Amino acid sequence: MDIKWQAIILLGIIFFSLILFRSWTYTSSFLNSSEKAANLERLSKVGQPASFDFQSVGVLNSYPSSNKTVGILARNWSILDPEVNAKSVLIESLDKNVSLFHYNISETWPLASLTKLLTAVVFLENSRPEEKVTISQEAVVTEGGAGGLKAGEIYNSRDLLKIMILTSSNDAAAALAESLSQKNEPFDQRSAFVKLMNQKAKEIGMTQTEIAEPVGLSAANHTTAADLLLLTEYIFNHHPEIFTWSRLPSILVQPFNRNNSHKLNNINPLVENVDFLGGKTGTTDEAGGNLLSIFSLDNDRLLVIILGSSGDRFKQAKELLNWVNKAYYLK
């Protein structure tokens, strides 16, 4: 074979090799892009370092939902960030699984009566359906008289859960926890029910949450807004009745061993809002005003968490909803 043909064959090999190399580079680039998208999806979950800008993320992982709004939320940057009058604030689109606003979401803060959401979860998962619960004197003397419970009364556990959620009754929370205890013991980190609460928090992934008692009076009960998001998602997926109860304007309850029934009103003023889907309030001197609320906005479930509010947290929640309505639009 002469030199001419050898040169032609060599050039052909080089040309073919270049084609293979460009094809491999393109495939690699495509795979890297897919990996980047997957990473963005993972990073869009709450709990990442505060320097990450959730508001710039365009990858939205949606929960299965029949009424889910299809599309991507885009930020209108002509609308400034909202003013924050609290220690921690989180606004999350539960159906698109993306944070719309966050402020100090990894800072630990006293739970106050938001504790009762976890109390309800643990009781539901460790008790028999429609269990009868007797109100003890120890439960009645728990600080606060919400719910109007009296020692010796026997309630259906579901009614007692509703009393705890609607009126934030400390007595009801204590009675529910007592009913699952093997002995009459103080509610601290050593008690059986509190151990179950801390175990459940860890199972859910609430790594910054610690529980000292099931009522919410102790400042040793602490969490973060990021952890509360995980709890909210868990309740929606496993115990949505908790949020359903929290939407009731009032309930009529009657002990098994009493003839008189009595009406109890929901202490959360947000129940008057037609777009309110459920939530819980919490207040102590150490915590200030806490609020966890879910709203419906354009067929999207929006979670608003406010911890350590020094003002009107209910008004703040409405203002944050209005801000979302202006600051984001569907592409």
pLDDT of residue 58: 28
What pTM value is reported for the model?
A: 0.78
pLDDT band at 106 (very low <50, low <70, confident <90, very high): very high
pLDDT of residue 299: 81
pLDDT band at 267 (very low <50, low <70, confident <90, very high): very high
How do residues 180-193 score in pLDDT, each as one tens digit? Answer: 875 555 555 558 89
Distance CA 87, CA 223 (A): 12
How many angstroms separate the Cα of 33 from the Cα of each of 27, 45, 314? 10, 19, 42
At the second CATH level, the architecture of 109-330 is 3-Layer(aba) Sandwich (3.40)
Domain residue spans of the chain: 1-43, 109-330
DSSP states of 273-324: STTEEEEEEEEETTTEEEEEEEEEETTEEEEEEEEEESS-HHHHHHHHHHHH
Helix axes 170-179, 192-204, angle to 10 degrees: 100
HSE-up (13 A, CA, CB side) for residue 280: 28
Q: Binding site annotation covers 280?
A: yes
- Please name the residues in contact with 287: beta carbons below 8 A apart, sequence gap of 6 or more: 109, 110, 111, 112, 219, 307, 308
Amino acid at position 290, single letter: N
Q: Measuring CA to CA, which residue among 281, 233, 242 is closest to residue 120? A: 242
Amino acid at position 96, single letter: K
HSE-up (13 A, CA, CB side) for residue 186: 3
Q: Are 127 and 227 in contact (CB under 8 A)?
A: no
Mean pLDDT of the region 41-55: 34
pLDDT of residue 329: 78
Angle at 192 between CA 188 and CA 195, to 5 degrees: 70
For the chain, percent helix, then strand, then coil, each to nearest 5?
40, 20, 40
Q: Which residues are catalytic?
A: 113, 116, 168
Distance CA 308, CA 232 (A): 18
Q: Measuring CA to CA, which residue among 63, 60, 10 is closest to residue 37? A: 60
- Please name the residues in contact with 5: beta carbons below 8 A apart, sequence gap of 6 or more: none
Distance CA 174, CA 162 (A): 14
Host H or E run for residue 98: strand 98-103
What rounded mean pLDDT belongs to the chain? Answer: 82
Distance CA 31, CA 35 (A): 6
How do residues 141-181 score in pLDDT, each as one tens digit? Answer: 988 888 899 999 999 999 999 999 999 999 999 999 999 87
Query: What is the token pair recorded at 2?
Result: 């002469």
